[in-house]
Structure 1
Amino acid sequence: MKNIDRIKKVGLKIAYYRNLRELSQEELASMVFLSREQINRIESPNGKSFTSVDTLFCIADALEIDIRRLFDFE
């Protein structure tokens, strides 16, 4: 699997878990001290943007999930 495909899948996982928690992008962004635009880019199915591992840990914590779920592509 190419890195861009992994980036896209991580973003889609974030969107999936955010929607499960019924959070808007703006609400999640506020919880992790990012802008809504940054969350939008991270979640983009085009793989427009990626973020640091530290930010992924913060997002996973805000979504109340184990970070490993973001990387479970099966």
Structure 2
Amino acid sequence: MSKDVSPTNRDRFIELGIKIGALRKMRGMSQEQLAAEAKMSRSHLSSIEAPNSVRPFSLEVLFNIADALEVEPSELLISSFPARKEK
């Protein structure tokens, strides 16, 4: 995936990473736990959550993170914090 990200999308990736980190903490999960459940490395998750860097990632990663956080993928992309998915 290209690292060339437009300024608008840069801000979106940063906001998304911050939201993922906040939701992870609200769920009482460590980065290691979320990374394992999302089928990714902890270092990749850490780079996504880092507010001072931009780490573009695939839809598959977004879907895996959403599933691990028990939210709909679309809810990660909206401004307010999502609720847990109904089981």
- 5 Å matches for 1:49-60? 49-60=55-66
**Alignment-mate amino acid for residue 53 of structure 1:** L
* Structure 1 gaps, min length 5: none
- Structure 1 equivalent of residue 25 of structure 2: 19
Q: Which one has a larger percent helix, Structure 1 or Structure 2?
A: 1
Normalised to the residue count of structure 1, the TM-score between the two structures is: 0.90
Q: Which whole-Å deviations, capped at 9, do the CAs of 1:10-62 have from their partners, x for residues lacking one?
A: 10111111111100001111112211111000111123312101110110010
- Structure 2 equivalent of residue 72 of structure 1: 78
Q: Is the 8 A contact 1:12 1:43 kept in 2?
A: yes
- Structure 2 equivalent of residue 36 of structure 1: 42
Looking at both structures, which has the greater relative contact order when contacts are Cα pairs under 8 Å and sequence separation is at least 6? 1
Normalised to the residue count of structure 2, the TM-score between the two structures is: 0.78
CA distance in 1, matches of 2:78, 2:27: 18
What is the count of residue pairs matched by the alignment? 74
**Alignment-mate amino acid for residue 35 of structure 2:** A
